[in-house]
Amino acid sequence: MLGVIFVCLSTAGVVTYMTMPEGPGQPRSYLLKCKNPDCGAEYKIGSGEYTGFAREHIDTKTDNPTGMACKKCGKETAYRIVKCDKCGEVFFYHYDGKDFADRCPKCGCSKVEDDWKRKTAQ
């Protein structure tokens, strides 16, 4: 009986964790868009999958990081995209070592910068 209760509580915990809205910390998922002109697929992947790929394949010193294999066309042309919280512009997440990677090209807003300023002001 205790085993059944444990399994039920564990399942409830996992379901609760997986369905929680994204908070101020690490997002639960990332948006990707395929740059292949014949594909253009957009989809979400889990943060674990993206983080694992980023650790192994994305060199922050280069302007041309490796793309992930697209789930639709299979080519390594899927890159992270961001939707600006302020103006709604959708753009490719891009780190060049000079600015915040989530800086909106349309309005100049950066959520990472805003969060950083809020944390350092405390």
The answer to whether residue 99 is domain-embedded is yes
The answer to whether residue 11 is domain-embedded is no
The answer to whether residue 2 is domain-embedded is no
CA 109 to CA 122: how far, in whole Å? Answer: 21
- Reported as a single tens digit per residue, the pLDDT across 90-104 is 999 887 778 888 999
The answer to whether residue 36 is domain-embedded is yes
The answer to whether residue 88 is domain-embedded is yes
The answer to whether residue 16 is domain-embedded is no
**In this predicted structure, what is the pLDDT of residue 60?**
56
Domain count, the chain: 1
- Give the three-class secondary structure for 112: helix
Q: How far apart are the first and last CA of the chain?
A: 49
Query: Please, what's the b/e burial string for 23-61 (b: 16 or more CB within 10 A of its CB; e: otherwise)?
Result: eeeeebebbbbbebeebeeeeebeeeebeebeeeebeee
The answer to whether residue 4 is domain-embedded is no
| pLDDT per residue rounded down to tens, the chain (122 residues) | 766 565 455 555 544 444 444 445 556 888 999 999 999 999 999 988 888 887 777 665 555 567 899 999 999 999 999 999 999 999 998 877 788 889 999 999 999 899 989 888 87
